[in-house]
Structure 1
Amino acid sequence: MRFRAYIPTLLIMLLLLGATAVASWLLFSDATDKARRQFEEQANAFENLMIDVMRSYQQVLRAGVAAVNAMPAITREQWRFFIRDLAIDDFYPGTQGIGYVKRLRYEEIESFVEEQRRAGRPDYRFNPEGKRDEYTAIVYLEPENWRNTRAVGYDMFSEPRRRAAMERARDTGNAALSRRVSLMQETGEDVQAGALVYMPVYADGLVPDTVEARRRALTGYVYGVFRMQDFIPRVIDRNLPGTLQRLHVQIYDGAKPTEADLMFDDRMLTHSGTSLPPLGRVPLFTDSRPITVAGTDWTIVLGSRPVLEEMVDRSKAWMALLGGTLISLLIAGIVGSLAYAAERNAAAEQELSAEVAERKRAQEQAQLANRELIHRVKNILAIVTAIASQTARYSPTVESFNKAFRERLSSLARVHDLLRPDPAHTPDLGSFVNEILAPYCHWQGALVTSGPPVEVTQNEAVLLSLLFNELATNATKYGAWSVPSGQVTLSWRDEINGAESTVYIVWQERNGPPVLAPSASGFGTNVMKFSIERGLRGRITTSFDPSGVRHEVELPRTSGATPAERHPSANGEDRQNHRN
């Protein structure tokens, strides 16, 4: 069947399937956009929550600064009551503790430690020891549980990240959040990333106008402590319950998320009461949002969880895709059936026309074969006469004549055997040429051949044998081989281009009688043109140079064989033979 007949069917099917695909994609996109908007709403709510919560916690620190300013010599009990009254577990969940830090000079450290011990804290110790430019000490940290007790007496100014936040708070007069730190409250178990927020305390309770004045007036800090894996879930549970069921949340310290700066990851939640669905795959929706908290950059990375992604209702899209595909195939099948029927009718007409044409070609070939048979018989008689004459000329005795004449007749018989080749036999062009032309060569140098190995098919062998017999007959009758000094040079070359090649054959006669161009072409010329131009779809040109006739044959070939299979010679060298 011709493919062209089904092009309209194919176009209709592609058009319908394309329309189905577009409609399904639009439905998929609409469902996905709805879920994306849900995701963005959840992400916006979480971002706003973190900003608002951190601002509200800063207000707690401002209240602590006010308490210190109201009671410059605030005691341990007073600080405890103040923090208790704030009810941070109820209104500010997730806070590890709120503490008071005092600024010290080196010469004050020893008396300060003694004062704390006399106040009922015999284990109070300032650390780390050593000389530095500036000193601070954690005085109070409430609630006073076992974790917070580990941090009391620690000089946070001795650690670079804490010091950077404390200096920023001191110089600006505002709250300052530290980078990711390892808290003094941590032990070897359930280690979490920590963050600290500092609010400066100045003498006289006022914030000086200049940086230098603020540095001189600084007396201490009120600060908040956050263990992030405890802090974030409790904030979410109080303000946006269910968020961690819908969103995968990560918080990084800094503008670029790196593993070293990871502060919170809901996949690491281990405390009881937090049951999250497994992530298990790449989220359908993701977003990365930078925020600034108390002068420090955080990056919030959010991803959708299956609970949120299940809001994508793809049922309508799937129905449209399946229904549209079935309808498209049904319509295409109907159109294809009509095209098939039309094609069958056209094929029947084509087969009938082909049968008529084939019978006509068979009649033409039969007529040509009859004419060729008559012409070949005449040529054989002429060739036998010429062979006998040439053999007698160079035979000194009757016995030598008889022997040479019989051998040449046998060679001639082998040539005509090639017209009925074995179907499995593909002779080499060089061997084929030498075998055909051997009976015509009666003296040394009569034939010189050269060319690479080229295999010829049965059809090519039959048609080329007609060509070479005609050329040899003409050379024997009228050309170079009609005189003892004559010579024929037969050369060929094979130009290969991928799976196609072209064989060029040149027949050149020399040292024969003067060449005269014929006034009209005979049957032999027609046989040569038939064998090359019609039989092999090639081209033959003849030039009648006075020094010797020249025939050039151009033979195009198409073969599935590789060049190595077409040229079996291992060394690839051209073959050159001299016949006598």
Structure 2
Amino acid sequence: MRRWPFALPAAVAAVGLAATLAAGFLIGRAGEVRERLEFETRAEAASDALADRMDTYMAVLRAGAGLFAASEAVSLEEFRAFAERVEVQARYPGVQGVGFSIRIPPGGAAAITARMRAAGSEDFTIRPTPGAGHNHAIVYLEPMDDRNRAAIGFNMHSNSVRREAMDRARDTGLPALTGKVRLVQEIHPEKQAGFLVYEPVYEGGAVPGTVAERRTRLTGYVYAPFRAGDLLHAVLPPEEAEGLDYAIYDGEPQVENLLHASSSGPPRGALVSTRALEIAGRPWTIVYWTPHAWAGPGHYTAMGVVLAGLAITGLLAVATLYQGRARLAAEREVEARRVAAARQRLLLDELNHRVKNTLATVQSIAAQSLRHGADVNSVRKTFEARLIALSEAHNLLTRDNWRGASLADLARTELEPYGGGRRGAHVFERTGSLASAQHRRRARHGVPRTRHQCDQVRGAVERIGPRRPDVEP
């Protein structure tokens, strides 16, 4: 019972704390799952947007291949008109331009150079110089700005990364994406990683049925160069990609394969998701992450629940403690009242008993005084002395709450009417109840009940001295 006020609040605090932590964990976990789902949804939407945009660019390249299929020879003016009509940079932001790279047959470099200069490109030069094997040169590239002008005449097949994609497009008849390259258009200090997409063009327009025929009948490529940073800013503008950073890799997510990153990398504790994307036969890896360590609404909700739970648990524990203390105090008060009532009943019973005994003692004293008195005066004196001795005996017993009294003191008080002296007496140690019993028996019968008691009283009388002659025994 004494430990109850502390045990119950401790149990309430423990259960409340456990429930609060469990609720906070579950809510935080649910919030994290919800945030993770929203993050994954946004990452998937970004990947889909990039794939859709690349499909759109490749549709423009197929349209350009259709232009060459519909004409035996497409002039610079016709190609320029096509590019202006499709509004490449206005409708398809992120692409550097649309061009055509012609296949240079063995010994045909001089003829192509002469034809291009005659068409208006007076400084047209094929570079690097065509060597053995296949060679291709950029002859058209629109819009003709300072960046694209620097690419005219470039032999793209001389570069291994470009050559791999060109050969793949030639053999499959499908658009092909290159790996990470540095575009020849990068003539300004702010350089970016780049890549290109090739759409093969064959004699007769249709795609031949076999690889051998495709290699024989290839005339060139309609292609598009891309600056990776410009493309990603167009596909995922900052206002739409808020709360979502990313990095795009050509193949495996390694530093040397990085095409573009919106930030330096994911911070510690950020949500991270990786997507594999295939664009025109080339694998890309896109890593998305949150700009900051995860602390979404669910996180703050969980913290709020934990704090509120701790506060409520503390209040309940304190209230339970005070309630327990109040209950214990009430039980103690009830117990104290019960003890007091029992003590009062005991005292009343004892008082009733002692009143009866006292009346019986007074009756005995009166009878003894009348029996041995010679006249009224002697009876009165004897009766008064005995009453006073009885009163003094009661004073001795009540002095220690009836717990005990010295037998010598009691004997001296009782025998005072008989001896009157206050000389030394033996110290008789007896309980108050025995002394009181001795007095009541002596007062009632006139003599002690036992020889031992008589000897004790006689010893006390002898020490006190002779009795007073005016007091009747």
Tell whether the structures are fold-level matches, with TM greater than 0.5.
yes
CA drift at 1:103: 0.6
Task: Report deviation, 1:336.
Answer: 6.9
Instruction: Tell me the TM-score normalized by structure 2.
Output: 0.63
Q: Give yes or no for the alignment of 1:312 onto 2:297.
A: yes
Equivalent residues of 1:42, 1:243 under 8 A apart:
no
Task: Provide the C-alpha distance between the structure 2 equivalents of 1:220 and 1:133, rounded to a whole number of angstroms.
Answer: 15
Structure 1 unaligned residues grouped into runs of 5+: 269-278, 342-580
The one of 238, 257, 263 aligned to 2:259: 263
Deviation of 1:283 (Å): 6.0
Structure 2 unaligned spans of 5+: 327-473
Cα separation, 2, equivalents of 1:202 and 1:98: 18
* Alpha-carbon contact 2:177-2:196 (below 8 Å) kept: yes
Give the 5 Å matches for 1:483-494. Answer: none
Is 1:218 the counterpart of 2:218? The answer is yes
1:325 matched to which residue of 2?
310
SS at match of 2:253: coil
Q: CA deviation at 1:335?
A: 6.5
1:243 offset after TM fit, Å? 2.3
The separation in 2 between residues aligned to 1:338 and 1:175, in whole angstroms, is 81
Deviations 1:229-253 (A, max 9, x none): 111111234xxx7322221021111
- 1:83 maps to 83
Residue 9 of structure 1 deviates from its aligned partner by 6.1
Return 182-191 or 259-268, whichever deviates more.
259-268
Quick one: structure 1 residues 123 and 283, their matched pair in 2 at CA, closer, same or farther if it must change by over 3 Å? farther
1:316: Cα distance to partner? 3.9
Q: Deviations over 1:70-110 (max 9, x none)?
A: 22321111111110000112321111011001111231111
Q: Kindly tell me: are residues 280 and 304 of structure 1, through their superposed partners in 2, closer, same or farther at Cα, counting changes over 3 Å?
A: closer
1:285 correspondence with 2:285: no
CA displacement 1:446-472 (0-9 Å, x = unmatched): xxxxxxxxxxxxxxxxxxxxxxxxxxx
Partner of 1:73, secondary structure, is coil
Amino acid at match of 1:243: E
For 2:146 and 2:173, the matched residues in 1 are separated by: 32
Distance 1:130 1:91, change over 3 A: closer
Question: Greater relative contact order: 1 or 2 (C-alpha under 8 angstroms, separation 6 or more)?
Answer: 2
Distance in 1 between residues matched to 2:121 and 2:202, nearest whole Å: 26
**Which letter maps to 2:14?**
L
What is the alpha-carbon distance in structure 2 between the residues aligned to residue 146 and residue 280 of structure 1? 37
Q: Is the 8 A contact 2:266 2:272 kept in 1?
A: no
1:299: which partner in 2?
Answer: 285
Q: Which whole-Å deviations, capped at 9, do the CAs of 1:338-375 have from their partners, x for residues lacking one?
A: 9999xxxxxxxxxxxxxxxxxxxxxxxxxxxxxxxxxx
Do the aligned residues in 1 keep the contact of 2:130 with 2:155 (CA within 8 Å)?
Answer: no
C-alpha spacing 1:202/1:309, structure 2 compared with 1 (3 Å): same
Q: Which amino acid aligns with 1:122?
A: E
Residue 111 of structure 2: SS of its match in structure 1? Answer: helix
Deviations 1:240-295 (A, max 9, x none): x73222210211110x2011111111238xxxxxxxxxx89446321000010000
* Counterpart-to-counterpart distance in 2, 1:326 and 1:64: 70
Larger radius of gyration: 2
CA contact (8 A) 1:128 1:158 kept: yes
Amino acid of the structure 2 residue aligned with 1:244:
A
Counterpart Cα distance in 1 of 2:272 and 2:282: 23
Name the residue aligned to 1:100: 100
Which residue in the other structure is 2:178 paired with? 178
Name the counterpart of 2:250: 253
SS of the residue corresponding to residue 121 of structure 1 reads: coil
Correspondence for 1:39: 39
Q: Percent identity among equivalent residues?
A: 35
Map 1:338-353; keep pairs closer than 5 Å.
Answer: none
Confirm or deny: 8 A CA contact 1:250 1:302 kept in the other structure: yes
- The alignment covers a number of residue pairs equal to 327
- CA separation in 2, counterparts of 1:315 and 1:170? 56
One of 241, 245, 248 as aligned partner of 1:244: 241
- What TM-score do the two structures reach when normalised by structure 1? 0.52
Hey, which of these two has a bigger chunk of strand by percent? 1
- The Cα shift of 1:309 comes to 6.3
Change in 2 beyond 3 A, CA 1:280/1:62:
closer
Sort the Cα spacing of 1:17 and 1:311 in 2 relative to 1 into closer, same or farther, 3 A.
Answer: closer
Aligned counterpart, 2:136: 136
User: SS of 1:166's equivalent?
Assistant: helix
Q: Which residue type is aligned with residue 74 of structure 1?
A: V
Residue type at the aligned position of 2:306: L
Distance 1:204 1:280 in 2: 51
Structure 1 Cα separation of the partners of residues 53 and 16 of structure 2: 55
For 2:241, the aligned partner's letter is L
C-alpha contact (below 8 Å) 1:170/1:218 kept by paired residues: yes
